Amino acid sequence: MPTIRQKLAQLKDLDEFVVLATVSAQKYQETNIEIIRSLTEEMNIPGVYVTLNKPYEAVKKLLLQKKVDARLIIFIDAVSRMGGGGERKTKECLFIGSPENLSDISIAMDQAVRALPSKEKFLFFDSLNTLLTYNEIPVVVKFIHFLSTKMRAWKVKGIIISLEKKKNQELIGELSQFCDLAIDL
């Protein structure tokens, strides 16, 4: 069975793409780390990490523990403020109110992608399932369609993460039409 790196290797030569990656809950954290490692170290490109699940500081700490260089990443944190944190500003993170705030997430992504000095860049969106917790399915479908269109306009390497769930198979199938590739990691 191919490793995460082997599956991502097929994307290495593409200038831009939008990928819907389904991940098992058991391998979720490890997979996210390997994707970011592949993008920042193997492909050597800067990017934006949108986190809807864990506070930015927890994600950054985990990346650093796993020896992933986070200096190439601008974070968008849509979870810290819900718990009462994230009020201070940093040069490496934009804090959004909650995963319900799709307009604020869109604006922050646009600002972050445009702030990256490199021609080549990535946008890592974690995760589709969290959006479904805070938004209705039709709203999420529209947002992912919008997001995939923006990723193409920004000319980024885009990865949207979704936990694999039997009940989401129809939704994942519907969202796959907006992506260049759907892969199981």
In this predicted model, what pLDDT tens digit does every residue of 85-106 receive, in sequence order?
A: 655 668 899 998 888 889 999 9
Q: Is residue 167 part of a domain?
A: yes
State how far the Cα of 164 lies from the Cα of 24, in Å rounded to an integer: 6
82 neighbors 56 (Cβ within 8 angstroms):
no
pLDDT at 115: 92
- The single residue listed with the structure tokens 């994230």 is 86
**Number of domain units in the chain:** 1
Q: Is residue 31 part of a domain?
A: yes
Q: Which residues constitute the domain of residue 64?
A: 15-184
pLDDT at 151: 94
pLDDT at 10: 72
CATH code, domain with 27: 3.40.50.300
Q: Is residue 7 part of a domain?
A: no
Question: Mapping DSSP to helix (H, G, I), strand (E, B) and coil, where does residue 55 land?
Answer: coil
pLDDT at 173: 76
Q: Is residue 60 part of a domain?
A: yes
State how far the Cα of 31 lies from the Cα of 120, in Å rounded to an integer: 22
Predicted TM-score (pTM) of the model is 0.91
Q: Is residue 6 part of a domain?
A: no
pLDDT at 14: 73
pLDDT at 67: 92
How big is the CA angle at 96 (ends 54 and 75), to the nearest 5 degrees? 55
How big is the CA angle at 25 (ends 138 and 164), to the nearest 5 degrees? 40
Residues of the chain with pLDDT under 70: 1-2, 4, 81-89, 165-168, 170
Give me the amino acid identity at 136: E
State how far the Cα of 132 lies from the Cα of 36, in Å rounded to an integer: 23
